[in-house]
Structure 1
C-alpha cells in the first residue's frame, strides 16, 4: 500500500488542481481515494459530498475564473428564493459577460451573456452571484409561470427586512433587456404581490384566483372587538370574513407551536371569521379540494360566482 503523504496546509478543503500542482502536489497524490473530484479540475478533502445546491457551488468555486459568477436559477436559490417543487432540482449555472468565456465542463450549465456592467453580489459564503433582478429575468427561460411569480413575490416582499427588489426594478429589467418565451415575465409580474411570507401563500392565492374566486388580501391584520390587532391572516376576504390558510405540516413536529396555532385558530373563529385550513392533501389533483373548501366558505358567507372576473393563470 502506498504511503499517504500530507497535503500542503495552504490548501483549503476545496481547491483547484492547478493550485495544488503549484504547491508541489503530484498528480498521483491528487488521484488517491481520500480526495474527492467533484468537478474537472477541482479536488476536495472534506469527505462525503453534500447534497445541496450550495454544496455543489462551493465545490465548483475553486474553478471559477475572476470574470465568472453563478447566475440564473442558481443565483435565486442561493439567496433563498423559492424554486420549483421536488422532484425539480436547480442546476449549477455559471455565466460570463462577452467577450470573456463561460465554463464548459460536465455538471455545469455555462452561459455567455451580452456585454453589461457587472452587478454581482458576494454572499456570506464568498460565492459571487448575479444580481437577483437579473437572475429572475434569466430564469424566465427555465421556469413556469407560477414559479416565476413565487420567486418575484419573494424578491419584492420585506420578510422582516428591506425587500431585495421592487416591481419597478423587475419591470425595468424586462424593458431594458427584453422579455422571454413570448412574454412570460410580464405575465408573471401582473400577479406579483408584495408582503408575501411564503411560497405556499403564493401557491394558494394563484390557485384560488385561477379558479375564478376573488383575489384575497395578503397578510391582513385582524382586529379584535376593541380595535386592537388580534392576528395576522395569511390570506383574507374581509368582505366575507373568510380566512384561507395553507398549513403544509404533515404532523405536529413541535407540540408547543401546534398548540399556539390551535389557540390562534380559535381566536380567529371567535371573532366571527371562517378559518379555512388547507393541508397538503387538499392541494393534490390540481388543488380541487382546496378550491372547493374556500368556495364553499365564501358562498356560505354570501359570495356568488361571477362577482369577480376569472383571471387566466396559464401560459403557453
Structure 2
C-alpha cells in the first residue's frame, strides 16, 4: 500500500489487520505508519507530518521546499508544519505564522507555502551560508524569481530575520547545482571577486565542450567544484582530463576545487582565482 498512511484508515478499509499493523509497520507519529525499517525522504516526512495533523496543517520551510522539489535537504531534519495548535510531537517542528491565502498553494495535492514564501522563510532562518544554499535550491527547483521573494520581504518588513534575508537574496544564484558550488561562490564573493556568471556553456569547433560551474567569461577564467566521483571514478576522471584540455586549448584557465580545499584552505581558492584573473588581464 502507499505510505506513509493513517493506521485508523487502513484498519477501517480492511487493508491491514491490527496484528499486521503492529508487526509489519512502524508508527512514526500518532496514527501514522510506514513499512518496518524504512527511511523516509524529506518529502515523505512532510506527507507523514501532514497526515499527523489530520490533513489540516500547511507544510512550510524545508517540508514545503521538499514538496516543491528542492534538493539537498538533510534527511535527518524534522518536518515543518504551520498550524495554530502547538501540541508538540517528536520529528515535527510546529510554526504558527499568519499565512495569507496568496502565500499558500497546492502542490502534488498538498497545501504548502508558495515557492516565494518558502524561500522567504528559509532565507530568514539558519546561518547565512545555509540560508543561501536553501534559497539557491528553491531557485533551482522552480520558476521562482528573486524579485518575488524581495517583494515579500518588503511586505513583511517586521518579520524576524528579514535583514539576513535581504543579504541572502543579494547572494543567491539560480545556477548553483550543489551546496558545495554555493559555498565556493560565497568564498569568492566574500573575497570581493564574485563570479559574474554561473553554469557557463563553452563550445569549440567540435561542439559543446562542457559547462563550467562559475566564472568570468570575459576573462576566460572558470571555477569548478569537483565532487568525490571526479577523483575516484576512472571514467569521469578521464572525461575531466579531456574536457580540461579542450578548455585550455580555447584559452580558459580553470581553478578546480575539492572538498578538502573548500573546507580547510578556502584562501587558496581565492589566491588561485585572483592570480588567474590577473594573468588574463583583469584589474582586481
Confirm or deny a common fold (TM above 0.5).
yes
> For residue 95 of structure 2, what is the aligned residue in structure 1?
111
Deviation per residue, 1:12-57 (Å, 9 max, x gap): 554324435656899974873333111122234x221214323433
Call closer, same or farther: CA 1:22–1:297 in 2, change over 3 Å: same
> For residue 313 of structure 1, what is the aligned residue in structure 2?
none
1:287 has 2:277 as partner: no
CA contact (8 A) 2:181 2:225 kept: yes
Deviation per residue, 1:50-76 (Å, 9 max, x gap): 143234334444323333122112221
Provide the C-alpha distance between the structure 2 equivalents of 1:206 and 1:28, rounded to a whole number of angstroms. 53
Provide the C-alpha distance between the structure 2 equivalents of 1:146 and 1:217, rounded to a whole number of angstroms. 19
Deviation per residue, 1:166-198 (Å, 9 max, x gap): 111111121223343251111111122344444
Higher normalized helix content (fraction of residues): 2
> For residue 74 of structure 1, what is the aligned residue in structure 2?
63
Provide the C-alpha distance between the structure 1 equivalents of 2:3 and 2:280, rounded to a whole number of angstroms. 61
> For residue 106 of structure 2, what is the aligned residue in structure 1?
121
CA contact (8 A) 2:58 2:112 kept: yes
CA contact (8 A) 1:83 1:147 kept: no
- After the TM superposition, which residues 38-187 of structure 1 pair with which residues of structure 2 at under 5 Å, given as runs? 38-44=28-34, 46-83=35-72, 89-96=76-83, 101=85, 104-117=88-101, 119-123=104-108, 126-157=109-140, 163-178=142-157, 179-181=159-161, 183-187=163-167
Q: Give the 4+ runs in structure 1 shifted more than 6 A.
A: 24-28
Residue 93 of structure 1 and its aligned partner are, at CA, apart by 0.5
CA contact (8 A) 1:74 1:90 kept: no
Provide the C-alpha distance between the structure 2 equivalents of 1:282 and 1:34, rounded to a whole number of angstroms. 46
Aligned length: 282
Provide the C-alpha distance between the structure 2 equivalents of 1:19 and 1:227, rounded to a whole number of angstroms. 60
Determine which structure has more spread, i.e. the larger CA radius of gyration: 1
Unaligned runs of 5+ in 2: none
Provide the C-alpha distance between the structure 1 equivalents of 2:132 and 2:215, rounded to a whole number of angstroms. 19
CA contact (8 A) 1:222 1:229 kept: yes
Call closer, same or farther: CA 1:23–1:288 in 2, change over 3 Å: same
1:34 has 2:20 as partner: no
Call closer, same or farther: CA 1:243–1:74 in 2, change over 3 Å: same
CA contact (8 A) 2:196 2:215 kept: yes
CA contact (8 A) 1:38 1:60 kept: no
1:236 has 2:221 as partner: no
CA contact (8 A) 1:73 1:136 kept: no
Deviation per residue, 1:261-304 (Å, 9 max, x gap): 32111100111221211111110126223223223323433445
Provide the C-alpha distance between the structure 2 equivalents of 1:58 and 1:67, rounded to a whole number of angstroms. 12
CA contact (8 A) 2:223 2:255 kept: yes
TM-score if structure 1 supplies the norm length? 0.74
TM-score if structure 2 supplies the norm length? 0.81
Three-state SS of the structure 1 residue aligned to 2:214 is strand
